[in-house]
Amino acid sequence: MGHPVITLHNKAFRPYLSADEIAAAIDQLASRLNADYAGRRPLFVVVLTGGFMFAADLLKRFTGDCEIVFIRVASYEGTGSTGKVQEIMGLREDVQGRDIILVEDIVDTGTTLHHLLPTLQANHPASIEIAAMFYKPDSLRYPLTLNYMAMEIPNDFVVGYGLDYDGLGRNLPDVYVAE
């Protein structure tokens, strides 16, 4: 039978990935992080809102010492030649010398990370890696180093597992794709 097509704001979405498939991908990613970060006490920086569900499942599988903070990102146009300015809200931790793992729901065009990374780098962490649940390789527009992507997906609009369509769908344990 499987799951039926769902409707959010009158838009139809069909089942795309099950909670079990997602969990299996996170198991694999967590194993790699556990090996790579053994003894390093990373600071996980979770980008809200979409990253909340992935962060919870990933962090439950992280076995070493670690710290977790949640941030929000606000972007606005700069007045000069800098273009977009990224303001990070909620980062009270001192990131200097820390091993940062940024936790994102999805890397699509990469625009968010392209603007966020320099702001974090300016605070001189020891390292920054990006861990994302989903990654759309065909959509990426910036040269980002993406070592910890749980799953690659095609360039389609998905909802569920933290991701929303105009505010709805974040609570769904499975992932759906727009019809």
Please identify every residue annotated as catalytic: 108
Contact between 111 and ligand 5GP (CB under 6 A)?
yes
Q: At its nearest, how many Å lie between ligand 5GP and the CB of residue 60?
A: 21
Spatial distance between the Cα atoms of 53 and 43, rounded to a whole number of angstroms: 17
Asked if 142 and 129 touch (Cβ cutoff 8 Å), the reply is no
* Mask for 36-75, x = binds ligand 5GP (CB under 6 A): --------------x-------------------------
* Mask for 133-162, x = binds ligand 5GP (CB under 6 A): ------------------------xxx---
Judged by CB under 6 A, the stretch of 12-20, 60-68, 90-98, 109-117 that binds ligand 5GP is 109-117
Q: At its nearest, how many Å lie between ligand 5GP and the CB of residue 61?
A: 21
Spatial distance between the Cα atoms of 44 and 57, rounded to a whole number of angstroms: 13
Q: At its nearest, how many Å lie between ligand 5GP and the CB of residue 155?
A: 9
Contact between 106 and ligand 5GP (CB under 6 A)?
yes
Q: At its nearest, how many Å lie between ligand 5GP and the CB of residue 125?
A: 21
Where does residue 85 rank: exposed (0-12), middle (13-18), buried (19+ CB within 10 A)?
middle
Spatial distance between the Cα atoms of 86 and 73, rounded to a whole number of angstroms: 7
Contact between 175 and ligand 5GP (CB under 6 A)?
no
Of 126, 108, 117, whose CA–CA distance to 42 is shortest?
A: 126
Spatial distance between the Cα atoms of 165 and 167, rounded to a whole number of angstroms: 5
158-159 β-sheet, strand order: 6-8, 11-17, 175-178, 158-159
Contact between 105 and ligand 5GP (CB under 6 A)?
yes
Binding site for ligand 5GP (CB under 6 A): 50, 104-112, 157-159, 163-165
